[in-house]
Amino acid sequence: MNASLVFGALLGLGLLLTVSPLLWPAKAEAGRRPGAATSRISDELALAGLAGVPIAVIVIVAVLFALVAGAVAHAVFLVPVLTIVATLLGAALVPLLVHARATRRRAANRAVWPDVVDHLVSSVRAGMSLPDSLGALAELGPASTRAAFASFDDEYRRTGNFGACLDRLKGVLADPVADRILETLRMAREVGGSDVTAVLRGLSGYLREDAALRAEVVARQSWIRNAARLGVAAPWLLLLVLASRPEAIVAYDSAAGAALIIAGVVVTIVAYQAMVALGRLPEERRWFH
């Protein structure tokens, strides 16, 4: 009897230790998750050129788009399930546009970071200080990044705090490559060293190779992505055409029609997300923000 109790207690303890990583850490992560989600949204807005727009404004605009889309769908089709689908699509429109713009700007910035590094190397080798080298990028750097570096230059001239200005510049650029460049400059300023130009030249070469490889892969995958988007959009365009007929409206207004539309929405989302996941290239994470 005592042996049974001991073995039972050991078994219960083992099971408890097995499932404990899934229980207690999950609560701690849940407490941190909103901050992480807010940080990701802020990075997307900054990269999309909307750094000064509060998240609440984006939410309000998304709600307005959802109400307008739902009202138009209800006025045209008078089918509740289509109204719900249109409302959800209207709410998702603003986040999708922000994400698409951020993705395009991230891809465009990937091609200019090597030039930024080259300008920094030239300025440092010419004897300029690191803050002055960064400030010079407001005039000499690529056009897409000049505004951010001009803001850094103005703030540094007012405050003289290189670290704080660097943190603000990282937030404006919201790019992992920019984080690596700026952290390299921060380390060079704080601990010194004569190898900063060699490190920057090596980083520039790596960035050029990575950008060329990504451009080749994206070009090869572009026709697959376009075909997938056409395959996702075609059934819904056909649905809009069929919904112009009164008998089709009656069919979609039934329980079977509603189930068909809901199943179509689920299949469309799952298929598109699977396509995006299979064709997505790994993006660098922001480790230093």
- Calculate the CA 253 to chain-centre distance: 38
In the prediction, which pLDDT does 145 show?
A: 85
How far is it, in rounded angstroms, from Cα 58 to Cα 105? 19
Residue type, 67: L
> Given this model, what pLDDT does residue 288 score?
62
CB-based contact 58:46 (threshold 8 Å): no
pLDDT at site 37: 67
Q: Determine the pLDDT at residue 28.
A: 40
Contact 53, 43 (CB under 8 A): no
- The sign of the dihedral angle between the CA atoms of 239, 243, 245, 250 is positive
Dig out the tokens for 108 from the structure.
Answer: 């465009």
Euclidean distance between CA atoms 128 and 135, whole angstroms:
10
Contacts of 258 (CB under 8 A, 6+ apart): 80, 81, 252
pLDDT of 24 reads 57
Give dist(CA 200, CA 129) in Å, integer. 15
Q: Where are the domains of the chain?
A: 112-211, 212-281
> What pLDDT, on a 0 to 100 scale, did the predictor assign at position 27?
44
Per-10-residue mean pLDDT for the chain, 289 residues long?
Answer: 55 59 49 58 76 82 90 83 86 87 80 86 85 88 85 90 88 84 83 74 83 78 77 82 78 80 85 75 66
- Comparing CA positions, the residue from 113, 108, 287 lying closest to residue 200 is 113
pTM: 0.65
Residue 80 CA, chain-centre distance (Å), reads 33
- Amino acid 106: pLDDT: 80
- In 3D space, the residue among 179, 204, 184 whose CA is nearest the CA of residue 195 turns out to be 184
Which pair of structure tokens corresponds to residue 265? 């929405």
Q: In the prediction, which pLDDT does 113 show?
A: 86
Distance from C-alpha of 16 to C-alpha of 99, rounded to nearest angstrom: 42
- Residue 245: which region, alpha, beta or left (left: phi > 0; alpha: psi -120 to 50)? beta
According to DSSP H, which parts of the chain are helical? 2-47, 55-77, 80-125, 130-140, 146-159, 162-173, 176-191, 196-242, 246-252, 255-279
* Whether 85 contacts 265, CB under 8 Å: yes
pLDDT of residue 15: 59
The contacts of residue 158 (CB under 8 Å, 6+ apart) are: none
Q: According to the model, what pLDDT value does residue 34 have?
A: 44
Q: Can you give the pLDDT at residue 20? A: 59
Tokens of 42: 């802020």
C-alpha–C-alpha distance, residues 100 and 106, integer Å: 10
For residue 78, CA distances in Å to 1, 69, 235, 265, 283 come to: 71, 13, 20, 18, 43
pLDDT at 17: 62
Q: What pLDDT is stored for residue 26 in this prediction? A: 46
Phi, psi of 126 (to 5 degrees): -80, -5
Q: Name the one residue in this structure whose structure tokens are 């790994």.
A: 282
